[in-house]
A and B are shown apart, each in its own frame.
Chain A
């Protein structure tokens, strides 16, 4: 039944590499011109940049101050607590990846890859010597000291093992699903307790928040602000849609006032006025004031995001719930909120990215976040004039985290089918 057909091959200029070039780079005369100009631009900028990065730049300003960039003035002998938090988060990520799969698995994969890369880098640059000294010091010490004196290399390996182990475990235990969100919240509380410590004990002495710094402070500021602003934002969003005029007016005023002023003025206000507003005996340190400012600010934006979700719930859902006899509170709690919050998850990730970048503003009120540490490093006489190196490093760190999160948010949006249901 097959008839022999003489098929003529498409001309070689419209397929393959040549075809692609023709279609995408040289389709018209002005596109060709643009392409050539752009290629020249890339060549000039690219060679200049590579030349600088590999021969001109003095990267020792980064490697010599790496601990400062990561944890700031956090006491060096207590840094094992930060590592413990990293391990905890790695384990929870692995577990979530195993249980949920999908986007979180991609994330856990990149986390594992990052840990592996850092471990290799660490061992390649003197980590092996550190490890042997550590091993030889082990016999004379208690197990607690084994933990507290562990060098970065083994910690990174431990993190890697935990991600993979927890992932394999999670894959067997799909029913742990419902425990994961409580577990994450528990980890959040545990992290703060671990980093902060208690008074009057030998293992976890208090490290006041004024000594948190670097990337650690940047992360803690943004995570605490987003977690605390979430309930506030939901309440404000519900308040804005409330039928009670008093509640509504209050919510609208709060949201619009906060959204109308720059974040830095709010940070400045909490920095100076928070102590005035509280009774004289309550002392709030600078980092807590910054967190309060970030939270108050984020709550207003969170409220607007949540409101978007609330508005997208069809009235039929509410009417149906009322018809089966639920009262207003129950309708909101069990019908409206679960659907609305699910819809705004990608928007909240977007808000978190913005917040993560905005934490740099605490530098203006004198905190040692990642950017603040960069600035204090540059103030040391031996690193004068290395602004380019330091700020490129800081920008690159922010870029990696923000880009990873926006990628995740994009994937999440597709997975949740926002706007497609």
Chain B
């Protein structure tokens, strides 16, 4: 038997690996200890305390707008929740609107109409090459703040008013027939889903371009429409905003801060989504489309069965990061005074004089939001990817 040459321990890979990791951890621990001792000294000197005990105390500050009832005598914890809900509101609506505008712009960017194509490109380039914060302050201070006072407010068709006080929309108010109409809506939704699934599974109907989607949609609209006539009276009234001397009453009021933050975030993110969509559609090889045409598929079928599934595969991962960016960018709304999570958090930090735990809380909340969005989008992403092996 051959004698193995003994490896000296200082050249043994296992020893080296272990030692280098121990050294690395030691350095990290030393650095952490150094920072921690500085931190605790500084916090003691300045009378700062760790812990989240302040969340139960009275906040004593106003918040401009809130989804849940809130008054200054409520706790800091509730104020923080108000901020979080405002962030979720502007990001949620923003994501939906940005996706719609982004897809339209992305498709326009691929249009065979030269003018449409160039205009979409100009929009994308201008938005992508200027900072979001500049756009936000421009939209707020340059547009929304400069709107006319209530008395001279601009009226858009459909009782929509824009003035210094923000944007006012009509609000649907349920009437007595609303609950019976709701049954028709529920039936419509269920029927639409059933029809869509059945048609999408059946080998004959599934390949007809958009047939499952369109028939589902038709049922979804038709049954509630039928119900509208059957229940007799309209299930809800439109409560129109009424112009008064200094403000509007009734309807849905969107504050100038919210409107500006939403407009800015949507315009900015849509430009990036448009590029994602364009990239995704262009990533589908021409040969795929030509082959589909060669086997006799119609244009609609090509779009539904060949282009769309392959484009989605490319689009979903970068789209996820755009959604995450929108949610994170909503923190810039502090520059225009929208009371989002970061804005309220900064106010709490100032008022309590306890910045350290508040910053940790804010960062932790954003992190949780990011992780949750990635999780959801990863699950969706898995469903559109190719199943390999």
Chain A positions 375 through 389: 1 when the CB is less than 8 Å from some CB of chain B, otherwise 0: 100100000010110
Known: A273-B356, A277-B35, A360-B133. A261 touches B363 (CB 8 A): yes
In the complex, A272→B350 CA distance in Å? 11
Interface residues of B in 344-389 (CB under 8 A from A): 346, 349, 355-356, 359, 362-363, 366-367, 370-371
Docked-complex contact B134 and A269, CB < 8 angstroms: no
B17: which A residues are within 8 A, CB to CB?
243-244
In the complex, A24→B366 CA distance in Å? 46
Docked-complex contact A391 and B114, CB < 8 angstroms: no
B42: which A residues are within 8 A, CB to CB?
275-277, 280
B331: which A residues are within 8 A, CB to CB?
262, 264-265
B126: which A residues are within 8 A, CB to CB?
399
Docked-complex contact B131 and A357, CB < 8 angstroms: yes
In the complex, A371→B135 CA distance in Å? 11
Docked-complex contact A247 and B142, CB < 8 angstroms: no
B371: which A residues are within 8 A, CB to CB?
260
Known: A34-B116, A264-B334, A363-B335. A250 touches B28 (CB 8 A): yes
Docked-complex contact B367 and A358, CB < 8 angstroms: no
A388: which B residues are within 8 A, CB to CB?
138, 142, 146
B368 to A, closest residue via Cβ: A260
A27 within 8 Å of B (CB atoms): yes
- Smallest CB separation, B355 vs chain A (Å): 5
B17 to A, closest residue via Cβ: A244
Chain B positions 98 through 119: 1 when the CB is less than 8 Å from some CB of chain A, otherwise 0: 0000000000000111111001
Best-surrounded residue of A261, A273, A277 (most CB of chain B within 10 A) = A261
Docked-complex contact B115 and A35, CB < 8 angstroms: yes
- Smallest CB separation, B248 vs chain A (Å): 25
- Smallest CB separation, B303 vs chain A (Å): 17
Partner of A364, one of B35, B38, B332: B332
B215 within 8 Å of A (CB atoms): no
B42 to A, closest residue via Cβ: A276
Interface residues of A in 251-279 (CB under 8 A from B): 257, 259-265, 268-269, 272-273, 275-279
A358: which B residues are within 8 A, CB to CB?
131
B135: which A residues are within 8 A, CB to CB?
395
A269: which B residues are within 8 A, CB to CB?
359, 363
B112: which A residues are within 8 A, CB to CB?
24, 27, 31
- Smallest CB separation, A134 vs chain B (Å): 36
A398 within 8 Å of B (CB atoms): yes
A239 to B, closest residue via Cβ: B24
A357: which B residues are within 8 A, CB to CB?
129-132
In the complex, A398→B21 CA distance in Å? 45
B119: which A residues are within 8 A, CB to CB?
38, 42
B71 within 8 Å of A (CB atoms): no
In the complex, A394→B141 CA distance in Å? 14
Partner of A395, one of B38, B111, B134: B134
Docked-complex contact A244 and B20, CB < 8 angstroms: yes
Docked-complex contact A391 and B134, CB < 8 angstroms: yes
Partner of B114, one of A24, A263, A264, A277: A24
- Smallest CB separation, A296 vs chain B (Å): 13
B290 within 8 Å of A (CB atoms): no
B114: which A residues are within 8 A, CB to CB?
24-25
A278: which B residues are within 8 A, CB to CB?
38
B5 within 8 Å of A (CB atoms): no
Docked-complex contact A402 and B130, CB < 8 angstroms: yes
B39 within 8 Å of A (CB atoms): yes
B35: which A residues are within 8 A, CB to CB?
277
In the complex, A388→B141 CA distance in Å? 8
B137 within 8 Å of A (CB atoms): yes
B132: which A residues are within 8 A, CB to CB?
357
Docked-complex contact A262 and B342, CB < 8 angstroms: yes
A190: which B residues are within 8 A, CB to CB?
none
- Smallest CB separation, A26 vs chain B (Å): 9
Docked-complex contact B113 and A31, CB < 8 angstroms: yes
A361 within 8 Å of B (CB atoms): yes
In the complex, A363→B334 CA distance in Å? 11
In the complex, A375→B141 CA distance in Å? 11
In the complex, A268→B350 CA distance in Å? 12
A276: which B residues are within 8 A, CB to CB?
38-39, 42-43, 356
Docked-complex contact B131 and A277, CB < 8 angstroms: no
A48 within 8 Å of B (CB atoms): no
A24 to B, closest residue via Cβ: B114
B313 within 8 Å of A (CB atoms): no
Partner of A403, one of B45, B129, B131, B356: B129
A392 within 8 Å of B (CB atoms): yes
Partner of A387, one of B21, B38, B128, B142: B142
- Smallest CB separation, A409 vs chain B (Å): 12
A39 within 8 Å of B (CB atoms): yes
- Smallest CB separation, A420 vs chain B (Å): 16
Docked-complex contact B366 and A260, CB < 8 angstroms: yes
24 contacts between A and B (CB under 8 A): A25-B113, A25-B115, A27-B113, A31-B112, A34-B116, A39-B115, A243-B17, A247-B21, A250-B24, A250-B28, A261-B363, A268-B359, A277-B39, A280-B45, A357-B132, A364-B334, A364-B335, A371-B134, A387-B138, A388-B138, A388-B146, A395-B130, A399-B126, A402-B128
Apart from A360-B133, A391-B138, A395-B131, what are 14 other A-B pairs with CB-CB below 8 Å? A27-B113, A244-B21, A260-B371, A262-B342, A265-B342, A275-B42, A277-B42, A280-B42, A357-B131, A364-B335, A378-B141, A391-B141, A395-B135, A406-B129
Q: Which 5 A-B pairs have the closest CB atoms?
A: A24-B114, A402-B129, A357-B131, A260-B370, A262-B328
Which B positions have Cβ atoms within 8 angstroms of A?
17, 20-21, 24-25, 28, 35, 38-39, 41-43, 45, 111-116, 119, 125-126, 128-135, 137-138, 141-142, 145-146, 328-329, 331-332, 334-335, 342, 346, 349, 355-356, 359, 362-363, 366-367, 370-371
